[in-house]
Amino acid sequence: MRVAVLFVLGAVAACGNDASMPMDCTEGEMRECYGGPAGTENVGPCKTGLEICSGGRWPGICVGDIVPRAESCNDFDDNCDGVLDNAPTVGNECTGTNGCTGARACDAGGSIRCFAPSKNECDLCGGPDITNVGDGCTSDEGCVGEFVCSLDKNFAVCTTPTKNECGVCGGPTVTGLTTSCMSADNCPGMMVCNAMGDAAVCDAPVFNECNACFPPVGTPGSTCVGDHGCVGAGACNGTGDALTCTLDAPCGHVMISEISMGSAVCGKDEFVELYNPTSRDVSLAGWALYSRTASSGNINLMVAFAPTATIASHGYFLVGCNGNQAACTGGYTGVAANTVTVDATYSSVDLNVSVGTVYLSTKNNQNPTGVADVTVVDVVGWDDNLNAQPASVFEGTNPTTPITNGSVERKANASSTAITLAAGGSDVTAGNGYDTDDNVSNFVQQAVRVPQNKASGTEP
């Protein structure tokens, strides 16, 4: 027992217990005492007590002192060292269930457990949050990949495949590019990337249709079209790298063979018929019909022919109005009496029954400038007053004369008349290929319209 200051009736007495003295203390005398380790008294809950003299002796019993006890997790300084909850193993290094290193500490329930940091998305203990791992990304080269953890696991980096020699992301290595090679026909070339970009192939051509080391040029003998729609046959040029168009002589071309500016049903029950007098099928791809307004001279696109549109040798092609009018909703295509169906339609143009012009052109994106325009294949102009200054554009000396509710039809030959071209006439199946570039002498008036289309067969 450790003895501190001795109190007697509030006064301090000398300490000691010399056996040679007859008495150690005065009966009832008290002194401060403490049974715990030095330095712990009056720290935390620890405090001193009192020893009371009995029979002139100090009995060695300290009454009321509180000494240190084993520290536990109770938010109390049990061992009186000035630190709360520093129980045995608290502060010791430990390993959490996630494998991260931490330290033991008291939890809220009074138990000692291992407190370890959590892992971030890259499996780094105590690392910063990384939210974009696994997200898609694109490199400066344009290759697509995803964000992955950096080597130090502190951030995400965009990882994408690189482009190979052919510019393919993640493609295999391609060797031999730009080296010389030969095709099976001994045509020279160079090794280049294939279409997939995963191998090198020889770009040397094989013999084309002209038996020359050039890319394909088309089929010799196939139909070609020159200025004003004149047709001919393609032939290999001297080097075999292209076809030249050898035109038929005299010029043969598709013609405007019949025009109706409306019928007794309504003004929009109108059509334009084409005829091919040549011995060759002709593609109308890229071609167009235009009309010219007599009053203003404006050129209007009627129809741009589809890429698949063709007109057979000695065959017909019918273009009808698809515009709306009260008497015939849907124009020509809406009139039940018109049993010959059209092969193409227009709706933005209304042909004037008195005066006007229709152009057939090889260009669907370039307005014709006149009869002499090389894109113009055929022109038909009509005017119901030939004695007046005509407002139409036409071929030859004068425009043809229109007829109300009927049509103007191209002749089959110089002697053709409206009667010979009508049903039962000698020229009814002789075609409509008479062309001297003079509208007034090449066309006749027909009171009864007889349009023909692709399905009508060929003439003659």
Report which DSSP code applies to 162.
P
Q: How confident is the model at residue 17 (pLDDT cuts 50, 70, 90)?
A: very low
Residues of the chain with CATH 2.60.40.1260: 255-456
For residue 288, report the phi and psi dihedrals to the nearest 5 degrees.
Answer: -160, 160
Q: Which residue is it, tokens 């965009």? A: 158
Beta-ladder partners of 360: 289, 378
Sequence-separated (6 or more) residues with CB below 8 Å from residue 109: none
The CA angle 182-183-189, to the nearest 5 degrees, is 50
- Which helix (H) or strand (E) element contains residue 441? helix 439-442
* Max CA distance (Å), the chain: 176
- Helix, strand, or coil (residue 192): strand
- Using alpha carbons, select from 368, 378, 118 the residue that is nearest to residue 272: 378
Q: What is the pLDDT of residues 417-434, one digit of tens each?
A: 999 999 999 999 999 999
pLDDT reading at 203 higher than 60: yes
Which residue intervals of 108-204 are DSSP H helices? none
pLDDT for position 391: 78
Q: What is the pLDDT of residues 205-235, one digit of tens each?
A: 999 999 999 999 999 999 999 999 999 999 9
Q: What is the number of other CB atoms lying within 10 angstroms of the CB of residue 158?
A: 17
Report which DSSP code applies to 421.
H
Q: What is the pLDDT of residues 52-108, one digit of tens each?
A: 999 999 999 999 999 999 999 999 999 999 999 999 999 999 999 999 999 999 998
Dihedral sign for Cα atoms in the order 287, 288, 292, 297 = negative
Sequence-separated (6 or more) residues with CB below 8 Å from residue 104: 89, 90, 91, 92, 94, 112, 113, 114, 115
What is the full DSSP assignment across 227-264? GGG-EEEEEE-SSSSSEEEEE-SS----EEEEEE---S
Q: What is the number of other CB atoms lying within 10 angstroms of the CB of residue 193?
A: 19
Overall average pLDDT of the 363-391 stretch: 89
How far from chain centre, in Å, is Cα 411?
A: 54
Take residue 256 and report the two structure tokens written for it. Answer: 């405007």
pLDDT for position 22: 65
Q: Which residue is it, tokens 């000691």? A: 16
- Using alpha carbons, select from 419, 175, 184, 454 the residue that is nearest to residue 310: 454
Query: Is the preceding peptide bond at 307 cis, omega within 30 degrees of 0?
Result: no
Q: What is the pLDDT of residues 326-338, one digit of tens each?
A: 999 999 999 999 9
pLDDT reading at 4 higher than 70: no
Specify the CATH number of the domain 255-456: 2.60.40.1260
Q: What is the pLDDT of residues 120-179, one digit of tens each?
A: 999 999 999 999 999 999 999 999 999 999 999 999 999 999 999 999 999 999 999 999
Q: What is the pLDDT of residues 259-279, one digit of tens each?
A: 999 999 999 999 999 999 999
d(CA 433, CA 442): 9
Average pLDDT, the chain: 93
